[in-house]
Structure 1
Amino acid sequence: MRKSILKYLVLVITICVLFLSSFTANKTITENDYVFEDIALSAIEPTEISSDNILPLEKTYRPFSPTLGKSFVGFKEALAFKESRGDYFIVNTFGYLGKYQFGKETLKLIGIYNPVHFLKTPELQEKAFVANAERNKWILRKDIKRFEGKTINGVRITESGILAAAHLAGPGNVKKYLRSYGQQGFTDAYGTSIQYYIKKFSGYDTSKVQPNRKAKVKLTA
């Protein structure tokens, strides 16, 4: 009788062991069932890139933008951009020509009588700008000496501003403006004033422009 009971107990224990083994085998394994060591984690994480090795965008790419500053070349290029955006071959709605927008009568004063040839010749236009500036500086030489450094209508007067205004309005109108302390103004057909040009083109180095009453463009064959 006891042997029979003992066999029964062994059978029950065996069945329980098999059941528990089967339950463990079918259990879903999650990451919580494992303890990852540091070595394992470092192997699967992406390599860290030091911020010291990465330059900001503005440091790695800087578009090249030449600057001419307040030089004479800077002066004439800034004036040309305002007049025509630097286009040698443009004629505006009032017939003014080229990069610096010369009128035909002004060209005659500095020895240029063929506006078609003038418009097609960038070198001639550059020479015309210098000759005209020299002539204007001679006409306005006393006014430059008298008014440079003073303030009219809240705008500081400089030689380059005076020469720019003379290019816009002619030296006679600039004289009137200065000697009336801004009371006698001038505005061109597009609404640009002497005061605006004096302010916009203030402070450039125009010392290379020599006053010359008889300034003419020397034409080359």
Structure 2
Amino acid sequence: MRKWITLSCPLIMILILASFGTSPKLLVQVPETLKVKEPTPVLFPKDRTIMQSTMVVPPFLGTSFVGFKEALAFKESQGDYFTINTLGYLGKYQFGIGTLQLMGVYNATKFLNDPTLQEKVFRTNMARNKWILRNDIRRFAGKKIRGIEISESGILAAAHLAGPGNVKKFLRSYGEWDVADDYGTTIFHYLKRFSGYDVSAIKAEKNPRI
């Protein structure tokens, strides 16, 4: 009996395996909606490299005052509170020593290491520039000079770059008089780049100080 079982088991296994091989194949019908009829778009652009995807980009916070100041800070220092550029300008918004003194700040080291103070100085300087340029803002905002629409935010950004006096000269010459900083950035460039932000949160103030 045991010998019969030993001989029959392999035969049974062979018959079972053979039945799988001889059974008819099942055909799976793919629904029309799932069939791929054309190349599908990919999320990663084919012409962009991995290295390019790691590039730093400025934050986009809309056209609010926060969006304005963060976009301006990114252009100035990539938003770094603790940086000093090759010309000695300090912090997130790249202030010079002379401007800091106008705001009532005389300790450059303290300024560089105090982000809260830097934000206060930025708003104070904007209020000062808005007062100095108040008549020019009323006169030129909404008009076009050299193909760009002049806006209050563009004027204030340009004043941050080159000083309110130079911005007055640009506007009153209708763009014939322009200056650039030591890195080649012009008043025209800032007027164009920072146009259209809402800077109504900044109130014009004569001789403000921290």
TM bracket (short chain) = 0.7 to 0.9
Residue 158 of structure 1: aligned partner:
151
Given that 2:83 and 2:91 are in contact with CA atoms closer than 8 Å, whether structure 1 keeps it comes out as yes
Q: Distance in 1 between matches of 2:115 and 2:185?
A: 25
* Alignment map for 1:194-205 (pairs within 5 Å): 194-205=187-198
TM-score by length of 1: 0.71
Q: Distance in 2 between matches of 1:183 and 1:66?
A: 33
Cα deviation for residue 214 of structure 1 reads 2.3
Q: Distance in 2 between matches of 1:194 and 1:144?
A: 15
Where structure 1 has 5 or more consecutive residues not aligned to the other structure, the ranges are 1-33, 59-64
The structure 1 residue matched to 2:64, chosen from 67, 71, 75, is 71
Gap change, CA 1:51 and 1:110, over 3 Å in 2: farther
The structure 1 residue matched to 2:104, chosen from 111, 115, 122, is 111
> 3-state SS of the aligned residue for 1:135?
helix
Cα deviation for residue 67 of structure 1 reads 3.5
Cα deviation for residue 215 of structure 1 reads 1.5
Q: What percentage of aligned pairs have identical amino acids?
A: 60
Q: What letter is aligned with 1:111?
A: G
- RMSD, aligned α-carbons: 2.5
Q: Distance in 2 between matches of 1:134 and 1:122?
A: 19
Structure with more helix by fraction:
1
Cα deviation for residue 46 of structure 1 reads 9.7
Matched residues, number: 171
Cα deviation for residue 154 of structure 1 reads 1.0
The reply to whether residue 143 of structure 1 matches residue 124 of structure 2 is: no
Residue 123 of structure 1: aligned partner:
116
How far does the alpha carbon of each residue in 1:101-128 deviate from its partner, in whole angstroms, 9 at most, with x for none?
0000001111111111000011111111
Structure number, greater radius of gyration = 1
How far does the alpha carbon of each residue in 1:10-55 deviate from its partner, in whole angstroms, 9 at most, with x for none?
xxxxxxxxxxxxxxxxxxxxxxxx8x75xx414xx5988x749xxx
Residue 95 of structure 1: aligned partner:
88
Q: What letter is aligned with 1:116?
A: T
Cα deviation for residue 66 of structure 1 reads 6.5
TM-score by length of 2: 0.75
> 3-state SS of the aligned residue for 1:207?
coil
Q: Distance in 2 between matches of 1:168 and 1:183?
A: 18
Q: Distance in 2 between matches of 1:124 and 1:82?
A: 20
Gap change, CA 1:57 and 1:90, over 3 Å in 2: same
Residue 208 of structure 2: aligned partner:
215
Q: Distance in 1 between matches of 2:123 and 2:198?
A: 14
Q: What letter is aligned with 1:80?
A: A
Q: Distance in 1 between matches of 2:59 and 2:127?
A: 27
How far does the alpha carbon of each residue in 1:69-96 deviate from its partner, in whole angstroms, 9 at most, with x for none?
0000000000000000001110001000
> 3-state SS of the aligned residue for 1:41?
coil
The structure 1 residue matched to 2:26, chosen from 21, 29, 41, is 41
Q: Distance in 1 between matches of 2:30 and 2:118?
A: 62
Cα deviation for residue 197 of structure 1 reads 0.1
The reply to whether residue 171 of structure 1 matches residue 156 of structure 2 is: no
Q: What letter is aligned with 1:41?
A: L
